[in-house]
Structure 1
Amino acid sequence: MNQYQIAVIVGSLRRDSMNRKFADALIRLAPAEFSFKQLDIGTLPLYNQDNEANPMEAVRQLKDDIKAAQGVLFVTPEYNRSIPGVLKNAIDHASRPYGQSAWAGKPAGVIGVSPGAIGSALAQQHLRNILAYLNMPTLGQPEAFVQAKEGLYDDAGNIGEASKKFLQGWMGRYVDWVKQHAA
């Protein structure tokens, strides 16, 4: 059985982030052959092209972790109808310098949770546009616009029964996607 290492990028820095909690619960739905590592994007400096020749350790670590992964899972909130700035900053760092993107070819999954009825739909769409440019094959279906509401989690913090079948199906498709596209 192959082992697949997945880099998880949570687009929120808040300690009690609902998307971090969601990522933790979602990855428990994956098969044992998949392991997940949440990457730290909160210590990255603001992207500045002047620093590309001599990047900070946090930038080098981010790129190394992405390169070592067989896939990437983005779990993002929606800020002002788009992706959070901290997520865009991480994407920019790992895509540079031009021609040396750590993202290229990495199969991606995009999901998120929000208190709003349409989940993080617009953020996910904006992120998909960016990932297309970065040459990341991105799972298109099923889309998952998850609303944070009563019953999303059980008492242990796992995905609750009301959402488990759908999200287990989403994870199954993501796992198949990674296996299909991982080099």
Structure 2
Amino acid sequence: MGDLRILGFAGSLRRASYNRALLRAAREQAPDGMIITIFDLIDIPLYNGDAEASGEPPAVARLRQEIRSADGILMVTPEYNHGVPGVLKNAVDWCSRPPQDAALARKPVGLMGASPGSTGTARAQSQLRQSFEFTSSYAMPQPEFLMARANEKFDAEGKLTDEPTRLFLQRFLRAFADWVRLFGPR
């Protein structure tokens, strides 16, 4: 079996976001046999059925193709007002369409998130899991990656500096590799 191709994207558009930093750390800490490619959601337009009916927007077409080509999806979410940020939910909505041929259908998904708060991103991740019931995506149940106090775990350049978190990230990514392999290569 060749390398696992994982597509990762963060639900924050802010360049210095903890979640973008966490995604970069995941790419750096990926175990042997896993390659994480990062997709930036900045160009994904708001979902609009009229726009969909008149033709797939180019950025959406690229995202859908990248998802279809990947063996697994790694979503890194902030938590805004106790929920999923609109940027990430919007990407999920686009990739759940059309329902009979959704890019996210039957894809293994890993969820991570970072927050300065004390509960990490538990509520946002829970809400995302509900969306995957519709897309029939396979969200990895355990281990959960809920980074709390993210402001204490990265340096000014966005590098993950907390050693226990780095070790847990490695464990999470090994578990995710095993999870993706359960569903076979694409």
Give the number of aligned pairs: 183
RMSD, aligned CA? 1.9
Change (3 A) 1:40 1:149: closer
Aligned-residue offset at 1:113? 0.4
Aligned-residue offset at 1:136? 0.9
Aligned-residue offset at 1:94? 1.3
Equivalent residue, structure 2, for 1:169: 171
Question: What amino acid does structure 1 have at the position aligned with 2:169?
Answer: L
For 2:156 and 2:83, how far apart are their aligned partners in 1? 29
- Say if 2:46 and 2:90, in contact at 8 Å, map to a contact too: yes
Equivalent residue, structure 2, for 1:37: 37
Matched, 1:119 2:151: no
Identity over aligned residues, as a percent? 39
For 1:117 and 1:42, how far apart are their aligned partners in 2? 28
- Say if 2:6 and 2:34, in contact at 8 Å, map to a contact too: yes
Equivalent residue, structure 2, for 1:7: 7
Q: Which stretch shifts more, 124-133 or 154-163?
A: 154-163
Equivalent residue, structure 2, for 1:182: 184
For 1:156 and 1:21, how far apart are their aligned partners in 2? 5
For 2:164 and 2:3, how far apart are their aligned partners in 1? 30
For 1:56 and 1:37, how far apart are their aligned partners in 2? 21
SS at match of 2:36: strand
For 1:155 and 1:57, how far apart are their aligned partners in 2? 32
- TM-score where L is the length of structure 1: 0.92
Runs of 5+ consecutive residues of structure 1 not aligned to the other structure: none
Equivalent residue, structure 2, for 1:81: 82
Aligned-residue offset at 1:131? 1.4
Aligned-residue offset at 1:52? 2.1
- Say if 1:154 and 1:161, in contact at 8 Å, map to a contact too: no
Aligned-residue offset at 1:98? 2.5
Equivalent residue, structure 1, for 2:24: 24
Matched, 1:59 2:29: no
Aligned-residue offset at 1:145? 1.2
Runs of 5+ consecutive residues of structure 2 not aligned to the other structure: none
Equivalent residue, structure 2, for 1:102: 103
Q: Of Structure 1 and Structure 2, which has the larger fraction of its residues in helix? A: 2
- TM-score where L is the length of structure 2: 0.91
Q: Which stretch shifts more, 71-80 or 141-150?
A: 141-150
Equivalent residue, structure 2, for 1:136: 137
- Say if 2:9 and 2:39, in contact at 8 Å, map to a contact too: yes
Question: What amino acid does structure 2 have at the position aligned with 1:60?
Answer: A
Change (3 A) 1:98 1:28: same
Question: What amino acid does structure 2 have at the position aligned with 1:39?
Answer: F
